[in-house]
Amino acid sequence: MNSNLLDRLKALPSVDEVSIEPSDNGVCYFTYLKSGWEWSEQKGFGTETLKEAYSLAKQAKQINS
């Protein structure tokens, strides 16, 4: 696992928490967004790669809540 990318993901202003869970394909990265943020109308998402999690979290937008 790329701990530098994980640290960068956790440091994004939109990210509240990242949970790394075992899956059939190795691990799944569940990214939970802070209150007032969403990605594709979702408050969180799961991805198979850390790179994808980082990319999606960077696309998160602040919303009026």
What was the pLDDT predicted at 2? Answer: 76
Q: 7-15: long-range contacts at Cβ-Cβ below 8 A with a sequence spacing of 24 or more?
A: 8/54, 9/50, 9/53, 9/54, 9/57, 12/54, 12/57, 12/58, 12/60, 13/37, 14/39, 14/57, 14/58, 14/60, 14/62, 15/57, 15/60
Q: What is the mean pLDDT of residues 36-54?
A: 96
What was the pLDDT predicted at 6? Answer: 96
pLDDT band at 3 (very low <50, low <70, confident <90, very high): confident
pTM of the model: 0.89
